[in-house]
Amino acid sequence: MTIEPPREDIETGLNRRLTVILLRICSLVLFALGLSYWALIVGLGSPLPSLVAPLPRFDLMTTPWKVAAPTLAVLYPVGGVGLWMTARWGPVVWGLILLVECIMQFAFAPLFGDRMTIIVLHGWGFLMLGLLRMVVWRGKRSGHGVGRRGHLKG
């Protein structure tokens, strides 16, 4: 006797797997950036100087960077943990990181320099996550959507 998964599990499976893969890849990037900020704060220098801070050590930074670096050093790993666990609060923390980065780029550009690369990377990740979530939403709306337990309906 063979037990086959219902069709709804198969349809949900691909979207769920793609979402988990995207979140895990983004969490690894957030961990790398978080570790880079921590390396900068403890005096090791940043392995990603073009993406993190312009100066190699915390004591050489300007005051705005001395405020932003510890904030991001805490937010990045927390967001990475949330994305890795696929917790609902993970994308929220990731959105908060994106908000902080956007404020640094657009409101205080003379203080923080050009940070468009990091914003584009975050934006791409959010766009991909939004597209995957939109597929589920559209399926739910058309009657082929997600049922009570997160499985697509026939």
In a domain, 119, yes or no: yes
In a domain, 127, yes or no: yes
Give the residue numbers spanning the domain of 123: 8-141
Residues of the chain above pLDDT 70, percent = 77
3-state helix, strand, coil in the chain (%, to 5): 70, 0, 25
Task: Report the distance separating Cα 50 and Cα 102, nearest Å.
Answer: 16
Residue 60 tokens read as 């050489």
Task: Report the distance separating Cα 33 and Cα 65, nearest Å.
Answer: 15
What is the tally of structural domains in the chain? Answer: 1
Count of positions (residues) in the chain: 154
In a domain, 147, yes or no: no
Tell me what pLDDT residue 144 has. 57
In a domain, 2, yes or no: no
In a domain, 95, yes or no: yes
Tell me what pLDDT residue 36 has. 87
Task: Report the distance separating Cα 53 and Cα 37, nearest Å.
Answer: 8
64 contacts 108 by C-beta, under 8 angstroms: yes
What's this model's pTM, rounded to 2 decimal places?
A: 0.79
In a domain, 149, yes or no: no
In a domain, 146, yes or no: no
Task: Report the distance separating Cα 125 and Cα 43, nearest Å.
Answer: 30
26-62 confidence digits (pLDDT tens):
999 999 999 988 988 887 776 665 566 666 778 888 8
In a domain, 151, yes or no: no
Task: Report the distance separating Cα 126 and Cα 139, nearest Å.
Answer: 20
Picking from 115, 128, 132, the residue whose alpha carbon sits closest to that of residue 53 is: 115
